[in-house]
Structure 1
Amino acid sequence: MTARLNPYLSFRDNAREAITFYQSVFGGDLNISTFADFQASEDPADADKVMHSQLDAPNGMTLMAADTPHSMEITAGTNYSVSLSGDEEAALQGYWDKLSDGATIAQPLEKAPWGDSFGMLVDKFGVSWLVNISGAPEGAPS
């Protein structure tokens, strides 16, 4: 697998409508998971909202989107991130290291509970980045 770069859009309550619209524009396969699917929110109002969606268009483009729970702030105009993901650890770590120069680190790039290394930062130009390096879960054989 190669490293992938794609936008990750955040919405308040209309991520499903938005990502379905983008599917009508770009075509492709759409996968949508709700907060209820993963018991990821204690607020019943969030149950049917989109926790994560991914549109893989036939031309190789990928777009991700999610609803922001009401317990979190969202501001129009800053409701996007750029996602870097894949299993090319050295390349992705290098991107993280370079993006970190002058950045505000929201989540250090470190081993996450799901087994990947994950980090979030806002670069010196105000762009939000998510970096996810695929990896084996803790304790799993390599």
Structure 2
Amino acid sequence: MVINPYLNFNGNTEEVFNFYKSIFGGDFPFVMRFNEMPKDATDGEGCAGEGIPENEGNGIAHIALQVGSTMLMGTDVPSNMPQATAGTNVSLCISVDSRADADRIFAALSNGGTVQMPMQDQFWGDYYGMLVDQYQIQWMISFNEAQDGKNGG
């Protein structure tokens, strides 16, 4: 199991991650912009290409930067969604080793909390869900059979 920080920004993710890259070095192993996402990849609750304002299509849907043994990840929050603030600008993304672990951890963390996106197969290949636990901490639970739970990027 690996836990990686996932950062949310109000439109300046690319700038922030280039800043972090200038400090920590390395390359971005993964960058996806909103306009690169499949248009049918949303169920109305997730982060997907549909519903993103056209002028924000070049925004960052997902970016990753390896920092030591941790993957620092981030996204832009589209203007048609609640904007990131202190407390909602960081999630913990846990990459687990099996679907069973994902379901068990998701159920335990969501007990007394709020499910934002139930565990389900996603277009990018992960079995994935999002929640806010009873202590108002945001979690992303992810299992990718191809990556065997080793990282989140």
Normalised to the residue count of structure 1, the TM-score between the two structures is 0.80
Listed one character per residue, the Cα deviations across residues 2-35 of structure 1 (whole Å, up to 9, x for unaligned) are x321111111110001111112222222132211
Structure 1 SS opposite 2:135:
coil
Question: Of the two, which has the highest radius of gyration?
Answer: 1
Alignment of 1:61-140 (within 5 A): 61-77=70-86, 78-135=88-145
CA gap 1:92/1:75 in 2 versus in 1, 3 angstroms: same
CA distance in structure 1 between the partners assigned to 2:84 and 2:74 by the alignment: 15
Deviation (angstroms), 1:101: 2.3
Is 107-116 or 29-38 further displaced after alignment? 107-116
Is 1:33 matched up with 2:32?
yes
CA gap 1:32/1:115 in 2 versus in 1, 3 angstroms: closer
CA distance in structure 2 between the partners assigned to 1:133 and 1:67 by the alignment: 23
Aligned match for 1:45, one of 50, 55, 73: 55
Structure 2 SS opposite 1:24:
helix
CA distance in structure 1 between the partners assigned to 2:58 and 2:125 by the alignment: 26
Structure 1 SS opposite 2:119:
strand
Aligned match for 1:60, one of 59, 66, 69: 69
Q: Specify every segment of 5 or more residues in structure 1 that has no aligned partner in the other structure, as ranges.
A: 137-142
Deviation (angstroms), 1:91: 3.1
Percent identical across equivalent pairs?
32
Structure 2 SS opposite 1:22:
helix
Structure scoring higher RCO (CA < 8 A, sep ≥ 6) equals 2
Listed one character per residue, the Cα deviations across residues 27-81 of structure 1 (whole Å, up to 9, x for unaligned) are 2221322112225255321121111100012x21111011111111113111221
CA gap 1:113/1:37 in 2 versus in 1, 3 angstroms: closer
Equivalent residue pairs, number? 133
Is 112-121 or 9-18 further displaced after alignment? 112-121
Aligned match for 2:12, one of 14, 38, 62: 14
Q: Aligned AA for 1:60?
A: S
